[in-house]
Amino acid sequence: MNNEYYRKMEPVNKSEIVERLMKEAFEWMRSVNPQQPATVGLWSGDWSSPEKLKSIETVAIEQSDIISFHNYSDSASFEKNI
C-alpha cells in the first residue's frame, strides 16, 4: 500500500485511538505480572521538556519501565533526543 493511499484511510483521531489502546495494552500486560520490563518507543516530536510532550508521548513515558526512542537521523539529532 502506498503512503498516499494509507494517509487517505488513516483516521483523523489516530493519536487518540493509539493512546487509548496503549493504556489498555499496559493494563493487560501489568495484570499478568511480567518479569521483563515494558516500553513504548518515542518516535517523533520534541521531548526536551515535559511541557512540550504530546499526550501520547506522556503516556508512553509514564507507562514504560525503560525509556526508549527511535531516531534514524544524524548524530546531532540523536544526541538532542537523548
Q: pLDDT tens across 21-77, in order?
A: 999 999 999 999 999 999 999 888 888 889 999 999 999 999 999 999 888 889 998
Q: Is 1 domain-assigned?
A: no
| Residue 70: strand pairing partners | none
Residue 1 confidence (pLDDT) above 70: no
Residues near 78 by beta carbon (within 8 Å), at least 6 away in sequence: 71
Residue 46: helix, strand or coil by DSSP? coil
Residue 16 confidence (pLDDT) above 70: yes
Q: Is 61 domain-assigned?
A: yes
Q: Is 6 domain-assigned?
A: no
Identify the domain containing residue 68 by its residue range: 13-81
Residue 9 confidence (pLDDT) above 90: no
Number of domains making up the chain: 1
What pLDDT score does 28 carry?
97
Residue 57's CB is within 10 A of a number of other CB atoms, namely 21
Q: Is the CB of residue 47 less than 8 Å from the CB of residue 70?
A: no
Average pLDDT over residues 2-12: 77
Residue 49 identity (one-letter amino acid): S
